[in-house]
Amino acid sequence: MPHSLAAPVTTSPTASAAGTGRPGVVAVFDLDGTLTYRDTFIPWVLGFVAPRPTRWWRLLVFLPLGLAVLCGARDRGMLKAWLLRALAGGAEAAVLDRWSQIYAQRVVDQQLRQGAVAALLQHQAEGHHVIILSASVDAYVPRIGALLGVNEVICTGVRWRADGRLDGRLTTPNRQGTEKAIVLQALRERWPGNTFAAYGNTSGDLPHLRLVEHPLLVNGNARARRRAAALQIPTDEWP
């Protein structure tokens, strides 16, 4: 059953939804595994290529880089870009956007954690400035943000060609790990003196969680919980 959420208000991944003024409280939510039960990027890519069997051969292009990433030779941002170029590169914007609309609605209807929805709705009810900060890409994450009624989405940007087709290379750093901490620090500089809350689910989220007054690690694995305890970051389990 679809969740009942606030009216959609969203911005582009690089826009400042409230560059002036003082929102009071800024709440920053990770997407994959925090708001949702699982990763959203791989299912989005695979869902796009599933009905297009002529694109599957492109995985041969991806395999050497995948092996390099597994061996620690390349970062995840490069893996993400190559996967996009291999499986969705050259896709028309209108075609990819239609799939992204369908997929975003599917995520909101079927994949949100109840605890995450409750926390998000509480922040919205109290008039807080709610942000999704995600390593997933701007081809679809802003649509999820719009359906959730958040004020702002900051995620990994992807490049489009001049002819309106997907290039697949990244236009921003991969918004993961320490990059999220850089974004969080920039948000604090935008709103000095405001209170920040942040929610994440992995060890990679701890660098930015430790920068806020009200951090919470949710549904983390044992290693993430141990590291959070060492940093005195509270943990919880959201259904």
* 11 belongs to a structural domain: no
Q: Does the pLDDT at position 101 exceed 70?
A: yes
* Mean pLDDT across the chain: 86
* 39 belongs to a structural domain: yes
* 219 belongs to a structural domain: yes
Question: Cα 33 to chain center, whole Å?
Answer: 10
Backbone angles phi, psi at 222, to 5 degrees: -60, -40
Could you list the residue range(s) of the whole structural domain that residue 125 is in?
25-236
* 9 belongs to a structural domain: no
Question: What's the token pair of residue 151?
Answer: 């004020």
* 10 belongs to a structural domain: no
pLDDT in tens, 213-223: 999 999 999 99
174: domain CATH number? 3.40.50.1000
What's the number of domains the chain is made of? 1
pLDDT in tens, 173-210: 999 999 999 999 999 999 999 999 999 999 999 999 99
pLDDT at 70: 59
* 30 belongs to a structural domain: yes
Give the helix/strand (H/E) hosting 200. Answer: strand 195-200
* 2 belongs to a structural domain: no
* 155 belongs to a structural domain: yes
Beta bridge partner(s), residue 130:
27
Q: Does the pLDDT at position 161 exceed 70?
A: yes
Q: State pTM to two decimals.
A: 0.85
